[in-house]
Structure 1
Amino acid sequence: MRDPAAIIFDFDGVIADSEMLANLVLAEELTRLGLPTSLEQSYARYVGTRWDEMIALIEEQLARPVPADWGAHLSDTMMARFRRDLAEVPGAGDFIRALGQRPRGIASSSSPARLAISLEVLGLAAHFEGRVFSAELVERGKPAPDIFLLAADRLNVAPETCLVIEDSPSGVRGAKAAGMQVIGLLAGAHIQPGHDAKLRAAGADHIAASWDEVAALAL
């Protein structure tokens, strides 16, 4: 799909190379909480889940509630690590800057605070001012289409004219349910062997191993 009316980006693992960093912090903090967790286990269990879903799963595995302040502690710890170590997915910034005035937005399961801090750290906040859409704005998160339909509405474009860049099967399913074209991106440090097959099974129209490949498909 060349020259889409708007490009909608997932964020973590697509623009910010944050999935490995976030899951490393999560695994460390879960282990301290009494639930020994490796980085690979964190990927398998929690990537693509909303916060309330993740907490429910953690409490089920712990067989007890998490401490009342654990969520705030995890967020503070993760943001401190992001401020120190967060980098972009290689090529993301160049792709975004090459868009010129083309409509674009972010449709992410992350919190508004995490998105704002991450965009600030990466120096990309000005490219998405007023066009950052968190799942907290809709009733249903991915794989429901709600966040993508909200983004299209706010960008004043028809859903079927949008191109979505996603790295998770749940995000691909949500974008396809919204009637959008989807490129599954494999450029993040967290991508494991066989992830391309998962994205294709979820309905991705194209698979790209890098942002250069995305540009060849979309621009």
Structure 2
Amino acid sequence: MNRVSCAAKLAFKKVTHVIFDLDGLLLDTETIYKRVFSDIAKSHGKVYTPEIRAKVIGRVEEESAKVAVTEMNLPMSPEKFLQQYKSMAEQSLADVRVMPGAERLVKHFHSKQIPMAVATSSGQDTYDLKVAKHAALFSMFSHVVTGGSDPEVKRGKPNPDIFLVCASRFKDCPKPELCLVFEDAPNGVQAALGAGMQVVMVPDEQTDESLCKMATLRLHSLEEVKPELFGLPPLK
């Protein structure tokens, strides 16, 4: 995977604020989602393919369920799918791990007083479940926007709404171009770019290369982040 194109190098601009996605970026939830979605599909003789997964990840739960049911032609309603998914995933999500490099990066930005926020497609209840065992880490963020339940987020990713709302809730309300987004999903990358923000993508290894090209910068892991590329204090 080419980490960055020549065009993207020239496009790097200084930022002052950072917005993180949650699932698959800060927390290793996508492996749980993948397993549960695959198990539900298999029980109906269907396959949860990488192509379908690319359409699902990053969306609010209701939209993810609709896409999964439609794309796999499952004999159930999206509501039933979501109910079954939540039942199967609840315990695993309560014990979810932090992704490699995430804790170090968040602590670094916090120590340098870089304003940070989380913009997740999860609803508030699901978010609370996932972060319960990582309270100290998530207390370092100025705020969290839960797109699945926030009334101000009218449309989910890949629409830009969640990132624009998130930026507007920083105390100094920065312009979108001063915000750097960290994302793992193509839908999230599209949303961030639509909001007028630069976006560092850390895609799953199964994500098709063609879906990663639009990112400002692509990395294999948050362990590879060099904040100084965007005018932020470098990691020691």
Q: What TM bracket, shorter-length normalisation?
A: 0.7 to 0.9
RMSD, aligned α-carbons: 2.5
2:169 equivalent in structure 1? 154
Q: Which amino acid aligns with 1:153?
A: S
8 Å CA contact 1:111, 1:135 repeated in 2:
yes
1:128 equivalent in structure 2? 141
Higher share in helix: 1
Q: How many angstroms apart in 1 are the aligned matches of 2:165 and 2:85?
A: 29
1:96 equivalent in structure 2? 106
Q: How many angstroms apart in 2 are the aligned matches of 1:165 and 1:10?
A: 6
Give unmatched runs, 5+ long, in structure 2.
1-11
Aligned ranges for residues 26-175 of structure 1 at < 5 Å?
26-32=37-43, 34-38=44-48, 40=50, 43-44=53-54, 46-60=56-70, 61-62=72-73, 64-66=75-77, 70-84=81-95, 86-100=96-110, 101-123=113-135, 124-128=137-141, 131-136=143-148, 137=150, 138-155=153-170, 156-175=173-192
Q: How many angstroms apart in 1 are the aligned matches of 2:40 and 2:117?
A: 32
Measured against aligned partners, the alpha-carbon deviations of 1:63-106 in whole angstroms (never above 9, x if no partner) come to 6433865533421321201224x211101011001112211111
Q: How many angstroms apart in 2 are the aligned matches of 1:45 and 1:184?
A: 16
Q: State which of 21, 30, 33 in structure 2 corresponds to 1:22.
A: 33
Q: How many angstroms apart in 1 are the aligned matches of 2:166 and 2:207?
A: 31
Structure 1 residues 167 and 59: CA distance shift in structure 2, 3 A: closer
1:192 equivalent in structure 2? 206
8 Å CA contact 1:23, 1:42 repeated in 2:
no
Aligned residues: 210
Shift in Å at residue 140 of structure 1?
Answer: 0.7
Measured against aligned partners, the alpha-carbon deviations of 1:157-194 in whole angstroms (never above 9, x if no partner) come to 111100001111111111111111111124xxx42264
8 Å CA contact 1:95, 1:215 repeated in 2:
no
2:195 equivalent in structure 1? 178
Q: TM-score, normalised by structure 2?
A: 0.77
Q: How many angstroms apart in 1 are the aligned matches of 2:138 and 2:64?
A: 27
Q: How many angstroms apart in 2 are the aligned matches of 1:163 and 1:44?
A: 22
SS at match of 2:158: coil
SS at match of 2:212: helix
8 Å CA contact 2:158, 2:191 repeated in 1:
yes
Give unmatched runs, 5+ long, in structure 1.
none
Q: How many angstroms apart in 1 are the aligned matches of 2:67 and 2:198?
A: 31
Q: Which amino acid aligns with 1:135?
A: G
SS at match of 1:98: helix
